[in-house]
Structure formats: structure tokens, C-alpha cells
Amino acid sequence: ADGRAAALHKGRETLRIEAEAVAALRLGEAFADAVELILSSSGQVVVTGMGKSGIIARKIVATLISTGTPALFLHPAEAVHGDLGLVRPTDVVLALSKSGATREISELLPAFRRLGVPIIALVGRPGGGEIGRLADLVLDASVPAEACPLDLAPTASTTAALALGDALAVALLDRRGFTADDFALNHPGGSLGKRLQLSVGEMMAAGSALPVVGCRAPLAEALLEMTTKRLGATAVTDETGALCGILVDGDLRRLLARTHNIAGLTVEEVMSHAPKTTTADVRAAVALRQMEEYAISQLIVVDEGQRPVGMVHLHDLVRAGLT
């Protein structure tokens, strides 16, 4: 029991130290200058780092690429054995180092200088150390202490560097006007790709599968339409074919709770008069959020003339993996 309590205490202390390290980061003019420098470049952001900093550098590259900023990871040891040829004068270098004195990075930066490539140093040491002196801009990712009780293993420092890299990527995303549609082009696979790419038009029941009745139709006709189309609802149209309501299972249950005498009723006497609608080009994930917001199971899809052209059901979106 004492061991479990100690583990919980140490885990919570680690999270506290790392959260405080990120909260203590202060962005100044150098950060804004770094964003402008990258935006003005016609090349890529070449991110380099050694050891744990190299692992963080790879994650920063992945985030930059997925949010619209071309980037690549350059291993510093491989760079001096030929991979430096990947770098062009139009690029910008982002060099990561906790100490500000990583030998492999220090030896590599003069080569970047000879290529005329601007250098941004992301350093976990106030002032930037030797690497900071060789850079054009220094981003301070220093932390008071590591979460490691020996103050040796990079923990809080790598978290701070990662957060600073994320801040840089998001600031660039914002300045570029990068949209969810742009993001979708880079993420076609998996559940994320589905959330970003599937449209309502791809998911809706349309044509002969769309339940629809006129507002003056007998209620029995609507019941038959709902039963055969199996969407738990039917769109209701006026004399011009425009949407004027929706009849759902819940409307029928509430009606039957009041009376069993339904023989002479028409659809417009029972339907809801303000149905929630969407359009075929809307992303399915947006339609799902709309259903969740209004606690409904169906959305009617309308065209420019407010005529129903389809219906999308909550269960279909869930089965498609959009949750």
C-alpha cells in the first residue's frame, strides 16, 4: 500500500512540475520574429536535435507538416556525413538543445551559416549558450528543474520544448489562414480522416430512400412512409415541395399518450414545424455536433430552395466512426 501511495505521489508531482514548466514559458519578440521569418521563407523548416531533443524535433516536424508548414527532420550526425545536402538557402533551421552546448549541433551550425540559412535556436538554457550565440533568434525553453528527482533525465525540459514547438506551429497555422479543409487534405486516413472528409451528402438517405410526405397527407400515410424507410422520421413538404416540417417517432408517442383517436388527423396537425436542417456539402462531423447540440437523431438535408433532398441519421454517423 505504501508503494502505491508513493507512486501516486510521484506521478502527481511529475505532472505538477511539468505543468508549471509550461506555464512559466514566456513568449517575447523573438517568438514573433521566428514566425515572421518562417512565413517569409519559400523553403522548409529544417528541424534538428540530438538525443531526446531529436525526438521532440521529430514531433515538431510532424505538427508543422500537418498544419501547413513544410518541414523535415535532419539528424545532426547524419548531416555532417552528406545529409546537409537536403538543406537549401531558402530554408530556415530550427535547432533544439537543452544545454545550449550540444556538440553535434554546435559543429553543424557553422555549416548552415555558410549556406546562408537563418537559424532559430530553441534552447533550454537562459541566454541560449553557445548555440544561442550562433543563432539569429533564440527561443527560451528553460525550466527551473526537471521532474526527474536526480535532475538528469529530460522531462520538464522536453515537455516545455514540445509545447513551444506546438505554439510555433499553431501561430503559423493561424497566420497562414489554414482551415479544417486544408487539414483534411493532409489526413485522409483513419477516424480523423473520416471526421474531416466525410460530407453529409455521402452519408444521407436520398432518392427513393428519403421519407417524405405532404403536409395535408393523412397521418396513416406518414406512418407507412416512416415504417418502410426506417429512419424514424419523415420530412414534410408544402404544396410547392419546400420543407415545412418533420414528423418523428417522438411526435407519434406524444400523440398516443394524449389520444388513440388518430383516424382523421393529417400530418400538419402532428408534425414539428421548425425542423433542423443542413446541406449536402457540410462535413458529417459538423452535422453530428448539431445533432448532439439539439438532442435529435435526424437532420433533413435541403437544397437552395429549401426542398428536402436527403436525411442523415445519428446512428449512421456513429457507425461511420465519427464519434
Q: DSSP H helical segments within 94-149, as ranges?
A: 103-115, 129-134
Q: In 3D, which of 151, 128, 154 has the Cα closest to residue 139?
A: 128
pLDDT of 75 above 70: yes
Position 245 scores a pLDDT of 95
d(CA 299, CA 129): 59
pLDDT digits (tens, 9 = 90+) for 99-147: 999 999 999 999 999 999 999 999 998 888 999 999 999 999 999 888 8
**Would you list the DSSP string of 176-237?**
HT--HHHHHHT--SHHHHHHHH-BHHHHSEEGGGS-EEETTSBHHHHHHHHHHH-SSEEEEE
- Most confidently modeled range among 239-248, 262-271, 284-293: 239-248
Flag the least confident range among 86-90, 109-113, 186-190, 221-225. 186-190
Q: Provide the pLDDT for residue 157.
A: 93
Is the pLDDT score of 194 beyond 60? no
pLDDT exceeds cutoff 80 at 49: yes
Side chain identity, residue 317: L
Statement: the pTM of the whole predicted model exceeds 0.75: no
Binned at pLDDT 50, 70 and 90, residue 164 comes out as very high
Q: In which element (H, E) is residue 310 found?
A: strand 308-313
Q: Tell me, what's the pLDDT at 187?
A: 53
Residues 6+ apart with CB under 8 A from 143: 21, 24, 124, 156, 157, 160
The pLDDT score that the predictor gives to residue 94 is: 98
Amino acid 153: pLDDT: 82
Q: Which residues contact 314 (CB under 8 A, 6 or more apart)?
A: 288, 291, 296, 297, 298
**Residue 248 three-state SS:** strand
Q: Which residues pair with 234 in a beta bridge?
A: 247
Lowest mean pLDDT among 29-38, 85-94, 137-146, 260-269: 260-269
Q: Which pLDDT score is estimated for 185? A: 57
Which range (200-209, 259-268, 297-306) has the least confidence? 259-268
What is the average pLDDT across 292-316?
A: 93
Q: By three-state DSSP, how is residue 269 classified?
A: helix
**Which residue from 139, 140, 162 is spatially nearest to 64, judged by alpha carbons?**
162
- Res 160 pLDDT > 60: yes
- Please tell me which of 45-59, 166-180, 275-289 the model is most confident about, judged by mean pLDDT: 45-59
Q: 274, 192 in Cβ contact below 8 A?
A: no
Residues 6+ positions from 64 with CB-CB distance below 8 Å? 45, 47, 70, 71, 168, 169, 172
Distance CA(75)–CA(53), nearest Å, equals: 11
In three-state secondary structure terms, 160 is helix
pLDDT in tens, 198-228: 889 988 999 999 999 999 999 999 999 999 9
The proportion of the chain whose per-residue pLDDT surpasses 90, expressed as a percent, equals 68
From residue 247, alpha-carbon distances to 10, 166, 296, 308 in Å are 57, 47, 12, 13
Taking the C-alpha atoms of residue 180 and residue 316, their distance in angstroms, rounded to an integer, is 22
* pLDDT in the model for residue 144: 87
Top-confidence range, 76-85, 176-185, 294-303: 294-303
